Structure 1
Amino acid sequence: MASIPGIGSGIDINSIVGAMVNAEKAPKEAQLARLEKASTTKFSALGTLKGALSEFQTAMKDLNSLALFEKRTATSSNTTAVSASAEKTALAGSYQLAVKQLATSSRVATGAIPSAYTAPADGKLTVKLGAADTAGLSVDIAAGDTLEQIRNKLNTTLKDKGVSANIVNNPADGTSRLVLNAKDTGAGKDIVVAADAGLEALAVDGAVKAGASSAGYLGDPAQSAIFSIDGLEQTSATNTLKDVIPGVTFNLLSKTEADKPLTLTVGQDKAGVTTSIKKFVDAYNKLIKTSSELTNVTQVGEGKPPVVGGLVGDATVRTLLSGVRNELVNPAGQEGVRVLADLGITTQKDGTLKIDDAKLGTAITDNFDSLGSFFTGDSGLMSRVDKRIDGYIQTGGVLEQRMKGIQTTLTDIDKQKETLTRRVSQLQTRLFAQFNAMDALVGNLNATSDRLTQALGSLPGVVKQSN
């Protein structure tokens, strides 16, 4: 707003009032700005610290699981032939496994019949899975049923038996064949279709190989898997084998080359444990680096103000890290692995941890059984460290309480700003009223002075001085 001199006095009232208002407002405004900046910086710093602690706690939970150390792996040297998995009850060992034959299911086809075939008479089709299936399932066929209708009836009746039917058409000669597939694998489970009189064209003997137009099995007849473990030959109706080796499940995928068995190795999940340990170290190092950034004063150049962390001199950070470091060097009361250094994990000058991969690998191989008790359980390292930090980041913990306190401060700052704005507005209104009144008074006095001067100049005997 442009300054307008007082009409009566000629004084620049706007400038005077503005200066007086600013003199009243500036100190408090600057104080609130400094407090708001400091509070916001500290609130953000506490949030960053809490995030790093939460990530660290998550990494510890992964390593504090006894299941991690109980987990077993089953590794195949030829994953295209055999895949495997192991339960925690599996014992470590190495096995030579050869696959001579995969288990297959039955797939049969009727003889070639005209594509426009219709059932010539009422009757039944009885479908069996091997000689042991003496009863089978009967499907009612009505005179005039087309191949599509017969297929649909077969599928409806046989779905619970694990047998499905479809039609394959031959465009070269206009013939079609019903093809039936069994879900279950294993020798002696060949599909047999017996037909009543008049429906003989739909009969199939699953033990006879199909010809160019004759009925029978397609590919191979139903057969069991044949495999050997360490030279001991065995058979299985399925390609999924469970507890042939106790606690181990493996799937046969393809035959192995003759006299070239694959190696199946069962052992502890060392790779999974190694990964979890490295995640823990990475999360701890991130916590240390984050804490360092939040508590350091960094010089950025001559003549420039330093960069000050949001928690410089904060006792909370020192107490927290001191407690965690004490637990990391506190030895466990057991044989084998007692401290992190036994795993090749040592502390560097900046407080972060460093892993000697070779020493870690050796320690895991030689002392795997002691790792679980070192890391897990109520007295394990992860539980002890977790107790040190949980009070800081849990709901209602130290950091949350401090952040709530800062939020209260920021709310109070906003209220003080509103109060200051109202007070300054009231001051400005009062000053303008006072100065305007003074200006009007001065204007009246000046007008009175001018009138007196004119009156006196008009009196007889008064001689006006010429300029």
Structure 2
Amino acid sequence: MVGITGIGSGLDINGIVGALVGAEKAPKEAQLARLEKASTTKFSALGQLKGALGTFKTAMKSLNNAELFEKRTATSSNTSALTATASTSALGGTYKVDVDRLASSSKVATAALASDFSTSASGTLKIKLGAADAGTEVAIAADSSLVEIRDKLNTALKDKGITANVVNNPADGTSRLVLNAKDTGAGKDIFIETGDAALSALTVDGAVQVSGNAAGYLEQAADAEFSIDGLALKSSSNTVENAIPDVTMTLVGKTEENKPLTVTVGQDKVGVTSNIKKFVEAYNKLITTSNDLTSVVEVGEGKPPVVGGLVGDASVRALVGGMRNELVNPAEQGGVRVLADLGITTQQDGTLKIDDAKLSAVLKDNFDAVATFFTGDTGLMSRLDKRIDGYVQTGGVLEQRMDGLQSTLNDIDKQREALTRRVEQLQTRLFSQFNAMDALVGQLNQTSERLAQALGSLPGSVRKDS
């Protein structure tokens, strides 16, 4: 009931009611604000910890994978001439490879024709991919232009891997049909034949090279020619499978004479190293996050310290302590028993550091021991996963605590709503009471004034202003 008040009594009723309402409201508001801040801070901190644990769990899963250690790689010393891949069954070895020639596909051109060439009569063209091919017959209508013939050929030959186009010579105004084959390898040259005189100008012998304005091949189909450790080999494709068992090589360029490239087949040490580094990075992020969330940092004299959201939290101490115990717990095997054997050591702040040279040497000399150290039911990754699973799983420690904090935050909202209603009711009641008092005082003042006037009118009374 805010409005013009205090007319009768002259009191500042709005100010009095505001002060009383504020005195009732302020302590509870401050309490709820403190509880909300503390709950929000802890909720956010638990979310950060859960996120870091999730990243760490993903990194562990990638490293705890037997297939990672079963992979084989084939690397080329000259990728501009050859690239290679290997299956898991490939045997390790080093091979010298010379690439003398790439496999090529057939490209042929018809004789040079007038740009306005058209067929004088209908007929049939037979397109063959190799002299022994049965061929594909394409019906050509009378008065067909080179463009129309091209379109007919492309429609008929699309499943055969042959495409046609028209190439124009601006110098003399002539045009040619040019056909390209997709398949490489010797004996796959394109031939264009016909038994119809009206189409004879379109025939091509794919074994004869173009000369002047005559028809012939622009590129002849040929096998790739290469050698492995001095053994001369051929392939109809530039993708060579099983010349080295379980290795696929892709020829992309010629090597220089007497300068063979090297193909090395072996364990995927690069992939393993990458996953180990991802594990270390994820662990370091987790430790850094837990350190930040549980630390108290002084920021200067007279200023309050910056307090982490989980300072003194027993769950964090138990989590980090359990992981550190697993990191120093030696595996029951030879060769690699602890992370230090891999060149991975703990620094003063609890994070891990990798000695790249030592890790590389261990992977080279003791690859199988590295695999059993990390993988399997008793491997380090499984043991660490068991330590953190109770925290990050659905319904785990962190989720339960975050759910509890969320309930607290929801309850704070409800308490604020209740406080607002209570304050509004209090304000209404106070205004009602004070306004009633104000009206009563106003009536008493009016009565007093009327009484004073009546007494002043009596005979013999003396007025003060006389």
With the shorter chain as reference, the TM-score category is over 0.9
* CA distance in structure 2 between the partners assigned to 1:101 and 1:231 by the alignment: 15
Correspondence for 1:84: 84
State the AA in 1 paired with 2:72: R
Paired residue for 1:187? Answer: 186
Match of 1:155 in 2: 154
**One-letter code aligned to 1:90:** A
Question: Against the structure 1 CA distance between its residues 116 and 450, is the aligned structure 2 distance closer, same or farther, given a 3 Å change threshold?
Answer: closer
Unpaired runs of at least 5, structure 2? none
Q: TM-score with structure 2 length normalisation?
A: 0.92
Which residue identity lines up with residue 412 of structure 1 in the other structure?
D
Higher mean Cα deviation, 366-375 or 163-172? 163-172
Task: For residue 383 of structure 2, give the secondary structure of its aligned residue in structure 1.
Answer: helix
Distance 1:447 1:77, change over 3 A: same
- Cα RMSD over matched residues? 2.4
Corresponding residue for residue 139 of structure 1: 138
Q: Which residue of 2 aligns with 1:218?
A: 218
Q: 1:29 to 1:122 in 2, by over 3 A?
A: closer
What displacement does 1:152 show?
2.7
| CA–CA distance in structure 1, aligned partners of residues 174 and 458 of structure 2 | 144
Greater CA drift, 341-350 or 116-125: 116-125
Instruction: Give the structure 1 partner of residue 246 of structure 2.
Output: 247
Residue in 2 that maps onto 1:321: 320
TM-score, normalized by length of structure 1? 0.92
1:81-114 alpha-carbon deviations (Å, 9 max, x no partner): 1111122221221111001111111222222233
Query: Structure 1 residues 120 and 316, CA, compared in 2 at 3 Å: closer, same or farther?
Result: same
CA distance in 1, matches of 2:283, 2:267: 26
Q: Partner of 2:381 in structure 1?
A: 382
Task: Return 26-35 or 59-68, whichever deviates more.
Answer: 59-68
Alpha-carbon separation, structure 1, partners of 2:251 and 2:357: 35
Q: How has the CA–CA distance of structure 1 residues 444 and 108 changed in structure 2, closer, same or farther, with 3 Å as cutoff?
A: closer
**C-alpha distance in 2, partners of 1:2/1:175?**
98
- What is the SS of the residue equivalent to 1:218? strand
| Deviations 1:353-395 (CA, angstroms, capped at 9, x unpaired) | 1112221121221221222222222322222212222222222
Cα offset, 1:17, TM superposition:
2.6
Q: Which runs of 5+ in 1 are unaligned?
A: none
Q: Which moved more, 1:307-316 or 1:191-200?
A: 191-200
Alignment of 1:65-84 (within 5 A): 65-84=65-84
- Cα gap change, 1:226 to 1:426, in 2 (>3 Å): same
Distance in 1 between residues matched to 2:446 and 2:196, nearest whole Å: 138
Change (3 A) 1:243 1:17: same
Distance 1:184 1:14, change over 3 A: closer
Describe the shift of the 1:118–1:417 C-alpha distance in structure 2 as closer, same or farther (beyond 3 A): closer
**Matching residue's letter, 1:148:** V
> How is 1:186-205 mapped onto 2 (pairs within 5 angstroms)?
186-198=185-197, 199-205=199-205
Q: CA deviation at 1:3?
A: 11
Task: Look up the equivalent residue of 2:408 and give its one-letter code.
Answer: T
Task: Determine if contact 2:166/2:175 at 8 Å carries over to the other structure.
Answer: yes
Identity of aligned residues (%): 70
**Cα distance, 1:242 vs. partner?**
0.8
Residue of structure 1 equivalent to 2:207? 207
How far did residue 405 of structure 1 move?
Answer: 1.2
Contact 2:5 2:435 (8 Å CA) reproduced? no
Moved more, 51-60 or 117-126: 117-126
Change beyond 3 A, Cα 1:440–1:330: same
Name the counterpart of 2:101. 101
Q: What one-letter code is carried by the residue in structure 2 that aligns with 1:132?
A: A
Partner deviation per Cα, 1:133-189 (whole Å, 9 max, x = no partner): 2x2222333443333333333323222222222222233333322222222111122
Partner of 1:336 in structure 2? Answer: 335
Q: Contact 1:4 / 1:13 at 8 angstroms: preserved in 2?
A: no
